[in-house]
Structure 1
Amino acid sequence: MIKNSILLFSLLLIGSCGGDNEEKLTSGVSEIPEPKPTYTTRDATLSFEAFNAHFYDHDSKLYYRTTQRKQLAEGWTQAIFWDIAMDAYLRTGSKKALDLVKEIYQGGNEAYSEFNWPDVKLVNDFIYDDMMWWVISLARGYELTQNQEYLQKAISGFDYIWEEAYDTQNGGMKWSWKVKGKNACINYPTVIGAVLLYNITDDAQYLSKAKNVYSWSKKNLFESNTGRVADHKIGDSNPGFEDYTYNQGTCIGAAVMLYQATGSGSYLRDAKLAADYTKNVMSDSEGILPAEGDWNEQGVLKAIFARYLSMLISDGKQEQYLPWLRHNAATAWANRDPSRNLMYRNYKVACPTGDFQSYEASSAVGIMQACPPGKN
């Protein structure tokens, strides 16, 4: 969860397009040439190794909050860092990367009540989206390792969250038991988790749940004429629109995965609309994504966005977005702290040389693992 989102939610409490046939669609994204300077596969490895050198704790097997290495990062962000490690393994195929993937699982398992989900909720104080990020990562971890323990904990986690959070009367997933409202950060990840489990188990109930929650989300959180994703909806009030890259990204991921599972072109259209909105409205005139995460957990958001935009590029076969994503990574790498090879949340400025957060340092690393570099 994002702490300032909780504050925002508290303040708020106080005070279908297209048919089902696949078609070749014209994107609204403007042309971006291949970035110069660019980055290489070696640079991608260096960036990941540097991130680990400055933030990873081999004792806890989790990541620190800052370069001072005094306090661990928030629990839900550890799942995002684990995803980055998995992407690094997928990119390199190295035993070292795979060993780290397995090690991070051990760290999460030890820190978060062995993924006994009622305890994860009450003892570790995870709300529903915190848990769902881990469910997604556990399912991905199973796909990479074939470790049944990962899969069983992903299944039990998804089923627990569904029973707790799904609104049987009005549809959609509740964000928390602490405040009212349904956020994009639980609804679209629920779709992703459900399709992952459907792909692994071939159990049709997961695909049915994914379609159900996606339908609610499209009706309540998605502007079908622009591709803009709302952050939340409270009761019968209008959706709360606050532009965050991870909401755009999980919408893209949910849509692409349902497109693959069903063959329905309407899902692919939604994914492209969400990508185009992020590029044309949320990014600056040079195509650089917003510098989210001013000393808070939002620094990880672009790493989530990059993973699912990469899915649109590869699985959705929409390569027109590839130069844009590379341009962001190349800009961040060009502005890295050369003494530490660390990158910053604001890709257009020089990375700070002093203390800063793992959240802020993570997103460009995530892009470089998920997005292949161009020809050099």
Structure 2
Amino acid sequence: MKKLNYFSLSVVVLLFLGCGSDKEEEEVTPTKPVEAASFTAADVDTAYDAFNTHFYNPEAKLYYSTTAKTGLGAIWTQAIYWDIAMDAYNRTKEASQLTMVNDMYQGGFQEYDGYNWNNTREWFIYDDMMWWIISLARAHGITGNQVYLDKSKEGFENVWSRSYDPVNGGMFWNFAKDGKNACINYPTVIAAMELYNITKDEQYLDKAKNIYAWSRANLFSNGRIADNINVARGNVGWSDYTYNQGTAIGAAVMLYKATGTESYLNDAKMAADYTRQKMSDAKGILPAEGDWNEQGVLKAIFGRYIMMLIKDAGQTQYLPWIQDNIALAWKNRDKTRDLTFRDYRVPAPAGTIQSYEASSVVGMMQVTPPTK
């Protein structure tokens, strides 16, 4: 029953979500910051605790899809929630949080056939796999557990051998190989760089440069990241999604840090500027992605990588923008449950909501300095 429900949800999402649509987004240029709002270190703790109270399943060691707690969230979003748990540990250094990081590995192991990358029922698109491969590498960096690194390396080689196009370049996003999407190409660069930073094996750096160059030539236009290329029709889908902008930023920053090549940093700043100036509203508020689907998690991914640009590359000019988004969303939280919502501009609903749409602000909070 678990697989039937998940598959049905995923089919709907894959038809609607970023990996596939060609619809253009309306472009809006911001004019001024949002009204004064703030969030504190205590608020960060409160938001994370509330998210876990209403969504974490301690038996499955993974997250429910909604506050109704009737089923687990989609496979790829669990990797994003694991990233948030790791960020919470990096922020707090609490032993209990490290335990949760290790528990979530075990939860994924139990739920997804021991991370068997050849199981084409559990894994049916390559980007689902790559999100976990990134998280496994990060988990090794935090815990030192060799098993996590081995699983990440095995997964990377598996996806590379099946998804990479040696003739025309780039990574296919699904097993049918009918599209090359941002959601697999830029995360492949990030995964390769995570593994390179751990192992110093030059093959990972070479692969990261290879896929980044293809993505730059085919999916990048003055900071705007195309969602996909339809291989059969040959057309580019210029839909705007925050996670694509975020992974492009993260990939560029990681390559910049490793090589010192200024063009990577310039690309990251262009992608950040496009997100702020064209995708955000007139007050700089990020778009409300995720109308009852997995898109609600996208801004959690964007938040992680824009903060990498701010912290790791010293581009602090973007920090007030991100803090303003968090502060407004926190101000509009459901104050009874302390749950935030995907649309930061409106009060969070009091009824059943998804972990997807409640996750992005929580994720951003773990990596963003409080305003107070």
Please, what TM-score do these two structures have when normalized by structure 2?
A: 0.92
Deviations 1:142-179 (A, max 9, x none): 00000001000000000000001000100000000135
The residue that corresponds to 1:352 in the other structure is: 349
Match 1:292 to one of 289, 296, 315: 289
Compute the displacement of 1:88 (Å).
Answer: 0.8
Instruction: Give the unaligned 5+ runs of structure 1.
Output: 14-28
In the alignment, structure 1 residue 222 sits paired with structure 2 residue 220:
yes
The residue that corresponds to 1:194 in the other structure is: 192
Q: In 1, distance between residues paired with 2:134 and 2:128?
A: 10
Compute the displacement of 1:372 (Å).
Answer: 1.2
Paired residue secondary structure (1:182): strand
Please, what TM-score do these two structures have when normalized by structure 1?
A: 0.91
The residue that corresponds to 2:318 in the other structure is: 321
The residue that corresponds to 2:58 in the other structure is: 58
- Which letter does structure 1 place at the counterpart of 2:302? F
Q: In 2, distance between residues paired with 1:179 and 1:356?
A: 34
Q: In 1, distance between residues paired with 2:44 and 2:132?
A: 24
Q: Is the 8 A contact 1:2 1:298 kept in 2?
A: no
Q: Is the 8 A contact 2:30 2:283 kept in 1?
A: no
Q: Is the 8 A contact 2:34 2:283 kept in 1?
A: no
Compute the displacement of 1:238 (Å).
Answer: 2.9
The residue that corresponds to 1:107 in the other structure is: 107
Q: In 1, distance between residues paired with 2:116 and 2:86?
A: 23
Q: CA separation of 1:4/1:273 partners in 2, compared to 1, >3 Å: closer, same or farther?
A: farther
Q: CA separation of 1:348/1:30 partners in 2, compared to 1, >3 Å: closer, same or farther?
A: closer
Compute the displacement of 1:7 (Å).
Answer: 2.0
The residue that corresponds to 1:234 in the other structure is: 230
Match 2:179 to one of 168, 177, 181: 181
Deviations 1:117-151 (A, max 9, x none): 102xx131331000000000000000000000100
The residue that corresponds to 1:97 in the other structure is: 97
Instruction: Give the unaligned 5+ runs of structure 2.
Output: 1-8, 22-28
Point out the more displaced range, 351-360 or 96-105.
96-105
Paired residue secondary structure (2:147): helix
Q: Is the 8 A contact 1:174 1:182 kept in 2?
A: yes
Compute the displacement of 1:4 (Å).
Answer: 4.6
Q: In 1, distance between residues paired with 2:274 and 2:11?
A: 25
Match 1:258 to one of 255, 268, 290: 255
Q: Is the 8 A contact 1:3 1:297 kept in 2?
A: no
* Total equivalences in the alignment: 355
The residue that corresponds to 1:126 in the other structure is: 124
The residue that corresponds to 1:137 in the other structure is: 135
Deviations 1:338-367 (A, max 9, x none): 110000000110010000100000001011
User: What's the RMSD between the two structures over aligned residues?
Assistant: 1.9
Q: Is the 8 A contact 1:32 1:323 kept in 2?
A: no
Q: In 2, distance between residues paired with 1:321 and 1:232?
A: 27
Q: In 2, distance between residues paired with 1:92 and 1:2?
A: 34
Taking only the aligned residue pairs, the percentage that are identical comes to: 56
Compute the displacement of 1:239 (Å).
Answer: 1.4
Paired residue secondary structure (2:45): helix
Paired residue secondary structure (1:341): coil
The residue that corresponds to 1:73 in the other structure is: 73
Q: Is the 8 A contact 2:13 2:293 kept in 1?
A: no
Q: In 2, distance between residues paired with 1:102 and 1:215?
A: 35
Q: In 1, distance between residues paired with 2:13 and 2:241?
A: 11
Q: CA separation of 1:107/1:90 partners in 2, compared to 1, >3 Å: closer, same or farther?
A: same
Match 1:6 to one of 11, 14, 17: 14
The residue that corresponds to 1:330 in the other structure is: 327
Deviations 1:219-272 (A, max 9, x none): 00000xx31000000226231100000000000000000000110000000000
Q: In 1, distance between residues paired with 2:274 and 2:328?
A: 21
Q: CA separation of 1:303/1:134 partners in 2, compared to 1, >3 Å: closer, same or farther?
A: same
Q: In 2, distance between residues paired with 1:192 and 1:125?
A: 20
Q: In 1, distance between residues paired with 2:191 and 2:77?
A: 17
Paired residue secondary structure (1:233): strand
In the alignment, structure 1 residue 45 sits paired with structure 2 residue 45:
yes
Compute the displacement of 1:2 (Å).
Answer: 6.3
Compute the displacement of 1:34 (Å).
Answer: 9.1
